[in-house]
Amino acid sequence: MNTQKTYDSKTIIFHWLSAAIILGLWVVGQTIDLFPKGTPRITARSFHITFGIILIILLTLRIKWRLGGGIKLPQALPGVLGEVAVRTHQLLYVLMASVVTLGVAAVWIRGDNIFNLFTIPAFDPGNQQLREDVVDIHGLFANTLLILAGLHALIAIWHHKVIKDDVLVRIWPKVSAYFKR
Ligand code: HEM
Ligand code: HEM
């Protein structure tokens, strides 16, 4: 039986670091077109892609950790609600993996100029429709991820404020614990 009450520190760091990067990527992704054409827009897009690649590495390590050593805690709620929570977490993982995969496809298909340092050639340069479609699908999945993650966060806050259980606390960073190590 699992007597552990909180997640291990790696699971906690993976959770909050990916959440912060995803939020940042979404904000930059939504605002890239507001940057003036030329270097400012290239820089914004290059930052988006660079942090996207950092997220891919983080997500790979996180999934390996989740399937391996990461602590799994019992469902917070019994019955159907607990089952819904487990499925939601799985769906969040699937959406994160899909968004980053579609992001890589977007770079590959539309081609890119990274920080004015090097260029990635477009997959099919004349095919503007394909370029728009892949970015649109990437954006659609990104929005879906953000909406589901937002609902997930609201439910976590509801657990904390209304039910007053330890669901949020068990994934909350234990800052003092890191200093002891
Ligand atoms: C969870 C992670 C990510 C989120 C939330 C995210 C979000 C977004 C959003 C909202 C857009 C705008 C879509 C639109 O205009 O319809 C976008 C565009 C884009 N994303 Fe991402 N993205 C993520 C990861 C990635 C990754 C890993 C890459 C590539 C390595 C990437 C590459 C791109 C590219 C090339 C564009 C098109 C930029 C443009 O229109 O100029 N994204 N992203
Ligand atoms: C982009 C944002 C987020 C994503 C993609 C995300 C994704 C996830 C995933 C996949 C899990 C399952 C962890 C595992 O067992 O490996 C999880 C757990 C959890 N998340 Fe998030 N999360 C996000 C933001 C948030 C925020 C903002 C909050 C709180 C305000 C939050 C609260 C929680 C809690 C309390 C758990 C543990 C649930 C339990 O033990 O039953 N998450 N999150």
Neighbours of 129 (CB within 10 A): 9
Ligand with an atom nearest the CA of residue 149: 2
Q: What is the pLDDT of residues 153-178, one digit of tens each?
A: 999 999 999 999 999 999 999 876 66
Q: What is the pLDDT of residues 26-43, one digit of tens each?
A: 999 999 999 999 999 999
Ligand 2 neighbourhood includes 160 CB (under 6 angstroms): no
Torsion of CA 38, 96, 166, 10, to 10 degrees: -80
Average pLDDT of the chain to the nearest whole number: 94
Range picked from 33-37, 70-74, 177-181 for highest mean pLDDT: 33-37
Burial class (CB in 10 A: 0-12, 13-18, 19+), 45: buried
pTM, 2 dp? 0.94
pLDDT band at 181 (very low <50, low <70, confident <90, very high): low
Helix or strand run (H / E) with residue 114: strand 112-114
Mutate to test the pocket of ligand 2, among 152, 161, 165, 170 (most ligand atoms within 8 A of CB): 152
Calculate how far, in angstroms, residue 179's C-alpha sits from the geometric centre of ligand 2. Answer: 24
Q: Which domains can be identified in the chain, with CATH numbers?
A: 9-167 (1.20.950)
Calculate how far, in angstroms, residue 96's C-alpha sits from the geometric centre of ligand 1. Answer: 12
Percent above pLDDT 90 for the chain? 88
**Does the pLDDT of residue 86 top 80, yes or no?**
yes
**Eight-class DSSP state of 73:** P
